[in-house]
Amino acid sequence: MHATTSDVNIARQWMLQFGRAAQRAGITIQYCMPDGRHLMQSVEIPVVTHCRASEDYLPGIKSVNNRWNWELGTTSIIFDALEIAPHKDSFYTTEIQLGIEDVREPYSELQSAVASFSTGTRA
């Protein structure tokens, strides 16, 4: 996108247009692991209602950033201040995954509790 290197307003314009299109269609927007600039821009986009506040899910281990997937307290505070509902990434709900060798989720109850207490969407 060459336009982003020559126009400082183009990204804002694109995000606002995205928000207006969603509003016209009667749908909401859910961000997934946005950068700070996206969060701040969401203040002008009322259809942004949810955002993933957790790291990527990896069963039973810490993520690539050495944080547990269920640690979403700090980002949740920021999202709440922006009136965006935080939620965590999806996860395995049982310890042993049928048909998948060497994959265990020993913390499925904790994952479930955190997902239930977050205010975002759940399947």
Structure tokens given for 16: 């606002």
pLDDT of residue 123: 55
Q: Which of 42, 16, 48 is nearest to 30 (CA)?
A: 48
Residue recorded with tokens 């020993």: 106
What is the pLDDT at residue 4? Answer: 77
Q: Distance (Å, rounded) from C-alpha 4 to C-alpha 15?
A: 13
pTM beyond 0.75: the answer is yes
Assigned token pair, 7: 């126009």
**Radius of gyration from C-alpha coordinates of the chain:** 17
Mean pLDDT of residues grouped by 10 in the chain (123 residues)?
83 95 97 91 95 85 67 88 90 85 84 83 60
pLDDT of res. 38: 93
